[in-house]
Amino acid sequence: MAALGWKIHGDGKRVEPGAVVSTDERLSWPRTIGIGMQHVVAMFGATFLVPLLTGFSPATTLFFSAIGTIGFLLITRNRLPSYLGSSFAFIAPITAASASGGQSVAVGGILVTGLVLAVIGVVVHFAGPRWIDVTMPPIVTGTIVALIGLNLAPAAWNNFKVFPVTAFVTLASIILITVLFKGIIGRLAILLGVIIGYVVATVRGEVDFAPVSDASWFGLPEFVTPTFDVAVLGLFVPVVLVLVAENVGHVKSVAAMTGKNLDDLTGRALFADGLATTFAGIGGGSGTTTYAENIGVMAATRVYSTAAYWVAGATALVLSMSPKFGALIATIPAGVLGGATTMLYGMIGILGARIWVQNKVDFSDPVNLTTAAVPLVVGIANFTWVIGDVTFEGIALGTASALVIYHVMRNIARWRGTSQEPASPASVPGGEEMADR
């Protein structure tokens, strides 16, 4: 394992134009600590939003998030900068599992998801990441990500309508901050929007501070012992595919920004996230994933030093040891969550479309068109299939249908030579229609 040491970048005080602070470098410790704390702020809103929406303990989630981040840095040999925050892909299965079997059953599902992802990480490490691209091409990955976000739309509305004025102010604040401010402020639009919404909710008397005054300043978070119910495990299986896509995308993004080939770390990244999610499942935290919010911080600061993430992990660990801090976060009312999730869930859905656009998916190909069309309806409408004691809902069925439809149709099309047939309906453009314009 590589030594946990970093070279000083330049004079340790500034980053010259066109230069970046590489993963094995750092600025002076005061600057590194400041950037590390900025990473905590960046992940904060989204990481805490998941336990608030699912009824989990924010402090416990933050505790396992910190442990997972430190473990990720160790497993990836201190070469891959990343913060492991709460994955939004877990919201729907956690909500469904908690409703049917309680929080411990949901925690058991998270644990199993982590174990499966860890196994995939080991396979990828020894077999190489190529088979992931074959199994989950962009049309499939984008569809799965999109249907998970859109499947959550009713949850956003349920929170929004509780305190609609506060929800509207929160959503409007996020939208305006995004376009009014440049740099890190614009990138923290969701967090700042939540803060503005919280202030409005406080003025309107929608916040109960009693749990905060009763909580102690220091102490361990509350842990939950997992239990297992086969009937709900099917809800969590699709999450594994999303976590694979997110981790692979993270590795490729960091590689592109730093100019380094990091493909050899793909298996380690998957294993590390799987292990972090497993630990979260053992004690009652939300499942983890690599965070795009922190990639934004790296892009804005041009500092890719893993030293900053060690600071972020340590800071998050200290904050998780304050029950009063966790109780304060838990006071965020439904209206604020409704406004924020209207944006967040929609963003998850559009991220799926972004995967299609970035990879130039051809929707004049009937295989691609059908692979997206059917699973999206299954996911949005939340189709349900009950087999004995096991229930498969929209996300699970949508994910399965995306994989099955793509691979079955693609193989038949190749066998029959029909892959170049125009898509139906015939009005779907193939791209040439706009060439002359």
**Could you tell me whether strands 25-26 and 390-392 are parallel, antiparallel, or unpaired per DSSP bridges?**
unpaired
pLDDT for residue 427: 45
Measured CA to CA, the distance from residue 266 to residue 251 in angstroms comes to 6
Q: What is the pLDDT of residue 278?
A: 94
Residue 130 domain flag = yes
Against a cut of 0.85, is the pTM above it?
no
Other CB atoms within a 10 A radius of the CB of residue 158 amount to 13
Range of the domain at 380: 27-416
Q: Tell whether 19 is covered by a domain.
A: no
432 in a structural domain: no
Confidence of residue 195 (pLDDT cuts 50, 70, 90): confident
- The DSSP bridge partners found for residue 15 are none
Tally the domains of the chain: 1
Radius of gyration, CA atoms only, the chain? 22
State the DSSP code for 85.
Answer: E
Once rounded to an integer, what is the mean pLDDT over residues 385-412?
81
Q: Convert the pLDDT of each residue in 25-50 to its tens digit.
A: 888 888 888 878 877 766 776 777 78
1 assigned to some structural domain: no
Pairing of strands 288-290, 84-86: antiparallel
361 found inside a domain: yes
Residue 426 has pLDDT above 50, yes or no: no
Peptide bond into 425 cis (omega under 30): yes
In a domain, 421, yes or no: no
Q: Residue with structure tokens 């059908």?
A: 370
Burial of 14 (0-12, 13-18, 19+ CB in 10 A): exposed
For the ranges 159-163, 214-218, 432-436, the maximum mean pLDDT occurs at: 159-163
Contact predicate 361/83, CB 8 Å: no
Asked if pLDDT for residue 270 goes beyond 90, the answer is yes
At 310, is the pLDDT very low, low, confident or very high (cuts 50, 70, 90)? Answer: very high
Burial class (CB in 10 A: 0-12, 13-18, 19+), 106: buried
Condensed to tens digits (0 to 9), the pLDDT of residues 340-355 reads 878 877 877 887 788 7
The residues pairing with 390 across neighbouring beta strands, listed in sequence order, are 387
Beta strands 7-8 and 25-26 are: parallel
Assess contact for 9 and 82: CB atoms under 8 A. no
Compute the distance between CA of residue 25 and CA of residue 6 in angstroms, rounded to an integer.
Answer: 5
pLDDT of res. 403: 87
Query: Is residue 218 in some structural domain?
Result: yes
Q: Is residue 339 part of a domain?
A: yes
